[in-house]
Amino acid sequence: MRMNKDAFNTLSKEILDAAIDVHREMGPGLLESVYQQCLVKELSLRSIKLSTMVPIPLQYKGYTLNKDYVIDILVEDEIILELKSVEAILPVHEAQLISYLKLADKRLGFLINFNVPLLKNGYRRFVNNF
């Protein structure tokens, strides 16, 4: 059973709060893998269920093709988190998250760039049939 919008919104706020805590603690300019490890820990401390490095097989006309995509963090089996530590978010980063949402049949995802002075300026929400 899928989450309702209120549950999505509550969880989304927790994710944003956790990401802000990580950014406040670690600051900008580190490797993406540092932020991923710290965010996983922060979400776990908040008792939020998650999986990391989740493979998404590519399906085409009922066939599984020889290509997997990998979600950085999947929260509560519903929300995709794609983490970056880059100078600027590019259209290719947005396309990556949109592809993951469609291929994994998930409704909500966040693209989080930790390499910014204020995290709210690096936090983008994407929806798929929400």
d(CA 58, CA 69): 7
Domain range holding 66? 5-127
Alpha carbon 30 to its chain centroid, in Å, reads 18
What are residue 3's phi and psi, to 5 degrees?
A: -70, 150
49-88 per-position pLDDT tens digit: 999 999 999 999 999 999 989 999 999 999 999 999 999 9
Give the burial string for 102-115 (b: 16+ CB within 10 Å, else e): ebbebbbbbbbbbb
14-36 per-position pLDDT tens digit: 999 999 999 999 999 999 999 99
Answer yes or no: is pLDDT of 1 > 80: no
Please give the tally of structural domains in the chain. Answer: 1
